[in-house]
Amino acid sequence: MLDADAAGSIGMDGYDDDDPIADPTENHYPDSNNSSVTAIAVFKGYIYIGTENTYGAQIWRSQDGLTWERVLDFGDGAEFGGINDPNNVRITSLQTNSNYLYAGTRNITSGAEVWRTPDGVIWEQFGSNGFGSASYTDVSSMTSFLGLSSN
């Protein structure tokens, strides 16, 4: 369960000047544009959460549930690994499979996307935009099947 302090750490209750992790030189800086936590998963010793953000969805992780690190940002924040595709406004699902963590997005412009990471930090696009049709806008759920994945 995420408490209000965790939500505040990623910016959902606004920026608080006395927040000890609000260091703009690190990827712990909260983003008050995050409106909700939309997906959650556990992967390689971390808990991951996906957010909804009109300027580009984000993924954050924590080992203790209190200190959070931004690991993926679809906005233009290059210092946070910004993908610069703000049309991905929501992380709609997170799922582990084999040695990867997968993230599905909502993108009503070019279609839903699937991204994956082997380490939680370096992400690559895995599913094409809308799987060939921009009308497929959401990856609303994923599941692991026999631990298989394709490369």
Query: What's this model's pTM, rounded to 2 decimal places?
Result: 0.79
The answer to whether the CB of 107 falls within 8 A of the CB of 113 is: yes
Q: What is the tens place of the pLDDT at every residue in 62-121?
A: 999 888 898 999 886 555 556 778 889 999 999 998 899 999 999 999 999 999 999 999
CA dihedral of 120, 69, 35, 124, whole degrees rounded to 10: -30
Distance CA(2)–CA(26), nearest Å, equals 22
Distance CA(48)–CA(10), nearest Å, equals 12
